[in-house]
Structure 1
């Protein structure tokens, strides 16, 4: 009889379902239940208020900008870590995971210190007329900092598994570096890139601690949705807080569903190729 290291399916499945119910289902259920306590008119009034819509716009646009930056920079960083050997490579590889280990509030304070008008980076940028702290640009930087590892760590193992013979074959056929990347490498990397982009975007949407210190939190200008929900919570307006949070929850679910669909199509395309 084959010995099983882990317990059987009934016990493993039961423990998994209990864990998921306590950690995920119950909090989300409480959020939905509290939001559902509002009538349709009250719910729509809260989520469509001018201040709420402004917070959606700031959050989504800054998250998109941060994700696009991470897509380019994260792919380049993963490529360098996999394809090149240089002094300090292991240190750089470890630094990539720093946003995972660093408390987001500490990251926000550090970024604010660096990019304030009298900071190391902020002072130099201020001399050329670029203000970072307490502007949407600061929000983008905070989002990019906390979500960068998702793209690097999803693309890096795929790059490590790619056969270098594919690139050599393209070079033998006379293709240039850009053509090889776009026609050979990118289709193979597409599923991992989509997964990393979706995780990076979702993290940016929900980021709180790293943003509130550098954003300035000005309504209609630098106030993110997570902060607005927190403000309503501090005002003991729990239904309004849950309603605003439910909008971001629905947006995250829709984004993940679309990303999974695109990822499945990209995977089928790469397998046919």
Structure 2
């Protein structure tokens, strides 16, 4: 009788570990691993010399530089202003707060092509902002600056939405105690608040950076697509596919995949170190 009760109590409504793990591996294999593996398989059709010649072509190298550098600077800018926006939304009350909080998710829902057309219309030489910057000698559309602005637009929510929950759950008792003991506000922020925000900030930076590297729709209009100047790597991949050069397209994609993986691995390592430091403290 006691044994049957124990068996009844040990049963769970949710499936067991083995079944759950099997479904998880199957799902990840179909959605992630198999498509990524196909890039390696397709690229293996090239010899080492052909692969190296493809990925070191000056036009390809220039597209790598534009994609990675604009994505990096856009994510860096979002890291600073995303923290500021999250701080304002969590720590202050003001009219229209809920509206602004809702508008932050607009880049998630807005089709990227629509965002690209809207940004191009605004920042073009005859646009609202472009016509004001033109007399100052500042050109935004069809330059790397325009690409960076587009990536800032689509990457900001990643930083805000990863930092915002941590700020909401953060207890204010330690901050108030530090202020009562005479600590300056900046020192309180730097020594008490910032260490706890570093892990989510790194996560938001990584997500914004990864999204920026592969962004196509919102960038293709405002970039101008000039080879060696404003042509991004995803556009070059699309050009190769349109020319039925599938091995060339997968070779370019493979370099982007490996570089993105290594960079994200580095960011995850830094995040792990930061979490370990905060836990030890």
Q: Report the TM range for the smaller structure's normalisation.
A: over 0.9
1:154: which partner in 2? 162
1:18 paired to 2:47: no
* 1:264 alignment partner in structure 2: 272
Q: Which residue of 2 aligns with 1:70?
A: 78
1:108 and 2:116 aligned: yes
Q: How far is 1:128 from its partner?
A: 2.0
- Measured in 1, the distance between the counterparts of 2:198 and 2:44 equals 38
Query: Secondary structure at the residue paired with 1:6?
Result: coil
Unaligned runs of 5+ in 1: none
CA distance in 1, matches of 2:191, 2:134: 42
TM-score (normalizing by structure 1): 0.97
Does 1:163 pair with 2:171?
yes
TM-score by length of 2: 0.94
Alignment of 1:181-200 (within 5 A): 181-200=189-208
Shift of 1:183: 1.3
Partner of 1:174: 182
Partner of 2:45: 37
Unaligned 5+ segments in structure 2 are 1-7
Query: Equivalent residues in 2 for 1:232-247 (5 A)?
Result: 232-247=240-255
Please say if 1:51 is aligned against 2:59: yes
Matches of 2:14 and 2:222, distance apart in 1: 46
**Aligned partner of residue 120 in structure 1, secondary structure:** coil
Query: After superposition, where does 1:211-222 map in structure 2 within 5 Å?
Result: 211-222=219-230
- C-alpha displacement of 1:181: 1.3
What is the CA–CA distance in structure 1 between the aligned matches of 2:208 and 2:259, rounded to whole Å?
14
Look at both structures and tell me which one has the larger radius of gyration over its CA atoms.
2
2:3 paired residue number: none
Aligned match for 2:101, one of 61, 75, 93: 93
For residue 167 of structure 1, report the CA deviation from its aligned partner.
Answer: 1.4
* Aligned equivalent of 2:141: 133
Q: Which of 118, 128, 133 is 2:126 aligned to? A: 118
The residue number in structure 2 matching 1:28 is: 36
Question: Shift in Å at residue 173 of structure 1?
Answer: 2.2
Shift of 1:203: 0.7
Q: How many pairs were matched up?
A: 273
RMSD after superposition: 1.2
Give CA deviations for 1:94-132 in whole Å, capped at 9, x if unaligned.
Answer: 111111111111111111111111212222222322111
